């Protein structure tokens, strides 16, 4: 399965390990992404850099584990900005993160359907 936003090798390995629980794992990831995107948005609104850093870091880790390297890279940028206290074009970056989440979701849904 050729994907642009998902590392097929990582996801195939995860699917092999998780077996029957694979779809459940992806569903939990979707729920987590929704909550964390909202948390990123709120952290930006309130300029809570510590919360922004923590949320970006956490979502970066789970996205990396699920095989979403582009999303993890965008989240690393958000985390770095929060650590440095230099929010620049943060709204644009958040939009890129949200867009990438949607693309990842589409590809993960395809993987779930093939499970």
Tokens in use for 79? Answer: 């985390």
pLDDT tens per residue, range 54-107: 999 999 999 999 999 999 999 999 999 999 998 788 889 999 999 999 999 999
Please report the pLDDT score of residue 87 as a whole number: 79
Sign of the Cα pseudo-torsion (109, 1, 70, 54, in order): positive
* pTM score over 0.85: yes
Over 90: is that where the pLDDT of 39 sits? yes
Q: 7: left (phi > 0), else alpha (psi -120 to 50), else beta?
A: beta
State the CB neighbour count (10 A cutoff) for residue 47. 11
Report the C-alpha gap between 41 and 15 in whole angstroms: 31
């Amino acid at each position: 399965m050729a994907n642009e936003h998902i590392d097929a090798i990582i996801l195939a390995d995860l699917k092999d390990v998780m077996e029957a629980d694979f779809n459940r794992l992806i569903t939990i990831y979707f729920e987590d992404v929704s909550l964390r995107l909202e948390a990123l948005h709120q952290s930006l609104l309130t300029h809570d850099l510590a919360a922004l850093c923590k949320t970006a870091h956490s979502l970066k880790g789970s996205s990396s584990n699920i095989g979403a390297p582009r999303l993890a890279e965008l989240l690393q940028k958000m985390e770095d900005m929060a650590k440095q206290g230099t929010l620049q074009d943060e709204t644009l970056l958040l939009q890129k993160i949200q867009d990438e989440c949607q693309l990842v979701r589409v590809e993960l849904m395809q993987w779930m359907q093939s499970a």
